Structure 1
């Protein structure tokens, strides 16, 4: 018999797969349960609600992002961007899910946390009082890296990372 943690992990994997195929809003708990060959009540044994399931899929990304900025000091921008790319590459499927349903971040009260880590990451790159132009450059750099991890996910990791980091550094340079 499967352990509860194995079943929970399988539920999350199938939910992520269906969210990627048809969008979070168009995926029901019944569809997830059907694909797994379990009953909907069995799914509720592992997740109290649909929001609980969605949060469990997004939460590791949020936790990793917060730990990333919390454990950093201002310094080598290249290293920071390389490490940031590694992090977003690991979570690229979840980023796609979120991009297709950004309202989920609001519904799950995660949007404020997301903006906070982005602000802290920008401060690590630019210092505590960057100009408006520098802030815009950082938005382009960080957003562009996320886009690269998603849009070019089928290409070799090292190639995408090298090009994305160079482009981000270019965007940051006046």
Structure 2
């Protein structure tokens, strides 16, 4: 198994891949480009990962793997408002921590394909339910779509890119709460 500490060959490879994905998209980034960015051979990249999909999964998995614990923690709360607030805090913290990943990969077709097949998709559906996103009325569905899309895109907007994490988190939470108010 590969080490997962910052500074390891694996972490440097993932950082280089994320930078290249931001510049060229996942489909426009080759394993050779990643190797060239790192100054290593393509064989060295293959030593760490068997495919580009494996690299993409390794980039997004730390965020996706946190969805289940967020939903678990929220489901343990008493009352709809407490569950919703717990989910909002958890998801906003996730967006803040992984803003570069989200801004870079949220709407990439390769990433969307991989996420649709990822086990974390069930946790994402749980989170939507906890936020009230399964209500049958059109207004609830639209609010959930605005909230989901807004949170994913917030990290990519140049107007907020320089906000420090605390301000960014506070403003995301406030905006999310306003969107969810019925």
TM-score of the pair, normalised by structure 2: 0.79
Whether 1:131 aligns to 2:133 is no
> For residues 156-171 of structure 1, what are the structure 2 equivalents within 5 Å?
156-171=164-179
Matched position secondary structure for 1:27: coil
Which whole-Å CA distance do the structure 1 matches of 2:110 and 2:45 have between them?
Answer: 23
- 1:104 maps to 111
Unpaired runs of 5+ residues, structure 2, are: none
Superposed CA deviations along residues 80-135 of structure 1, whole A, max 9, x for unmatched, are: 312311111111122123235133331x3x21546533331121122875533223
- Is 1:83 the equivalent of 2:83? no
Task: List alignment gaps of at least 5 residues for structure 1.
Answer: none
User: Do the aligned partners of 1:24 and 1:100 also contact (CA within 8 Å) in 2?
Assistant: no
CA RMSD of aligned residues (A): 2.3
> Quick one: higher RCO (CA 8 Å, sep 6+), 1 or 2?
1
* 1:41 matches 2:48: no
Number of corresponding residues: 169
TM-score by length of 1: 0.82
Bigger helix fraction: 1
